[in-house]
Structure 1
């Protein structure tokens, strides 16, 4: 399976283009790192791929076909700040149910204590809540994962543990990953290949 975008462009209504001419592909089971300066449009690209935003130009294709606008999106995204990605009025069990609850063994691999599921988001630390967001994104119907500075707010030990688990699950399930980061060392450590934003966008 192949996720690809062709000649994507994005602009705010009535404003200039944020980027133009962006083309990129990620294959099943492949981890691709994307490095670029702040404000260049990396997160916006991820949002377009995951169906959160619409491109002004270009196409997003899954195995050569447009992704259906309805139903569970096969491309899921994990954002940098988990507190902004969950409903504060839902207990975490309901949050996970959005994508169908992952297997208990998978939750354990991600370091999730099942007791957390009956808590509210504010009762967890940032690292614990991010693990919940990752588990939700890795639902059984997910085919591609966009990791946008997914562990940037965490300490080095927690980062390493989370990446170890996520990469193992992605390889086992042939989930393709786009890893958006400022950290070249991280990208080179966890990804099969790394691309830089200046090679994607014509401005």
Structure 2
């Protein structure tokens, strides 16, 4: 979600900075990059190590509240082409799942702001035992959609997410945003989703699914 569908990473980084500074610490852009695509508790532990004297669950809840408030006041900044691609997938009858390490309430607040039913289901960070880069989130989504994971495409913007997609057995498409995705093993890298359609994703699956299935 964050960085692939919507450009909320700056919101998260701003919330993290304010939280660390409230405890007298410093939080740089490089520090924030460590958290991109990471699991909720893993991120909270990094913030604790930066001086935030709060329980991990409280950190997660606080940051989620902060980002949800920014979404309400500043709006939902969609990544280029993301909304249009989701609409084309819906019109083509292709099922979709939002797989994010954000809390479910955070994910649903973003989904509710999309002006059409963009996703058939949501798998969030508090729905799984093992966060990305573990494949569980994507395997759970495939099971709930009742599809073989090798017939799915994972679209990711973070190294953690790309690793999760590859480990799941899905065809994995990297669309880099804040951090590079080179040399991680993604089946393809696209610079943007802008101008891409459901046909492009079907073509991607056709070109790579046989190879993916053979290596599992």
> Structure 1 length as normaliser, TM-score?
0.32
> Structure 2 length as normaliser, TM-score?
0.31
Q: Which has a greater percent of strand?
A: 1
Q: Which has the higher contact order (CA 8 A, sep 6+)?
A: 1
